[in-house]
């Protein structure tokens, strides 16, 4: 079985310091959390950025400041900006960090309810526009999947030439309005992707490490971090993203998977540094 790629989603757009005081907002805090994750074994930093007061932003300038600062401390890490941004942002806002030509960026392949009145909208034209721009700039998309139909959309657009091989998916399990965080549903998603594709699993909240274990033993990869879960265990807040990554590393070693370095992750994902 190939080595395990660990992605750290260090802050997201919704979780706040009121949820966990260690959630990073400032450039220095984001670098601190990225470094803690990389030092613990993460190869990929999935990156949202915030203003200093915690307001989510897709500003290209803010992304550049954070990426440059992370690269200064963690030069080998793969930085993966989010093009999801926050609910309600325009397509133009969301796509800004792709213009920095990162190695990877996220590509959300469908619309999903996020609970209450929040709807994360991704029309087919939006998906195509984002995919085309990534293709033009040589940015590998990580296909974000909140339900099975999003896999079907990605495969259809791949066949039309909008998404290049090899495909890499991130299965986000346990979001309100999305597919459940169950072994049944994870197996269903795994069986729906094209042969030769890779996948990461992101379990939300209490499902984070259950789904991580399932992915580890079935040959997938793992995402952890404050964006998805702020607890190390029930009732115990994680003090850093590094603590969550370290737990994933321990789990992987118990289950017989070695951890991929950033350069090994590049090979697995078909990236070139």
- Averaged pLDDT in 10-residue chunks for the chain of 273 residues: 97 96 98 98 98 97 98 98 92 97 98 90 97 98 98 98 97 96 97 97 97 98 98 97 98 97 97 72
* Architecture in CATH of 6-269: Alpha-Beta Barrel (3.20)
What burial class does residue 92 get, using C-beta atoms within 10 Å of its C-beta: 0-12 exposed, 13-18 middle, 19+ buried?
exposed
Q: In this predicted structure, what is the pLDDT of residue 115?
A: 81
What is the pLDDT at residue 182? 97
Distance of CA 71 to the CA centre of its chain: 18
pLDDT score, position 253: 97
Nearest to 79 by CA among 52, 56, 61, 97: 97
Gap between the Cα atoms of 223 and 253, Å rounded: 16
Instruction: For the full predicted model, state whether its pTM sits above 0.95.
Output: yes
Six-digit token string for 255: 């289950």
Confidence (pLDDT) at 273: 54
Q: Which two tokens stand for residue 30?
A: 């984001």
């Amino acid at each position: 079985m190939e080595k395990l790629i660990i992605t750290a989603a260090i802050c997201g757009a919704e979780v706040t310091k009121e949820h966990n005081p260690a959630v990073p907002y400032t450039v220095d805090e984001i670098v601190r959390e990225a470094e803690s994750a990389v030092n613990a074994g993460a190869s990929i930093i999935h990156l949202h950025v915030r203003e200093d007061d915690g307001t989510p932003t897709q500003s290209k300038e803010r992304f550049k400041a954070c990426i440059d600062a992370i690269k200064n401390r963690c030069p080998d890490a793969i930085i993966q900006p989010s093009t999801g941004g926050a609910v309600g942002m325009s397509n133009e806002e969301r796509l800004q960090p792709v213009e920095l030509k990162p190695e990877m960026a996220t590509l959300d392949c469908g619309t999903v309810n996020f609970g209450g009145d929040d709807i994360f909208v991704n029309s087919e034209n939006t998906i195509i526009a984002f995919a085309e721009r990534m293709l033009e700039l040589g940015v590998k998309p990580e296909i974000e999947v909140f339900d099975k139909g999003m896999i079907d959309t990605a495969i259809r657009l791949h066949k039309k030439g909008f998404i290049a091989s090899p495909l890499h998916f991130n299965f986000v399990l346990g979001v309100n309005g999305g597919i459940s965080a169950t072994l049944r549903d994870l197996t269903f998603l795994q069986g729906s992707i094209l042969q030769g594709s890779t996948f990461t699993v992101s379990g939300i909240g209490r499902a984070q490490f259950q789904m991580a274990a399932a992915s580890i033993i079935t040959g997938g990869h793992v995402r952890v971090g404050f964006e998805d879960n702020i607890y190390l265990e029930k009732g115990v807040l994680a003090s850093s993203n590094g603590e969550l990554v370290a737990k994933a590393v321990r789990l992987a070693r118990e289950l017989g998977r070695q951890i991929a370095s950033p350069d090994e992750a590049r090979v697995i994902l078909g990236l070139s540094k």
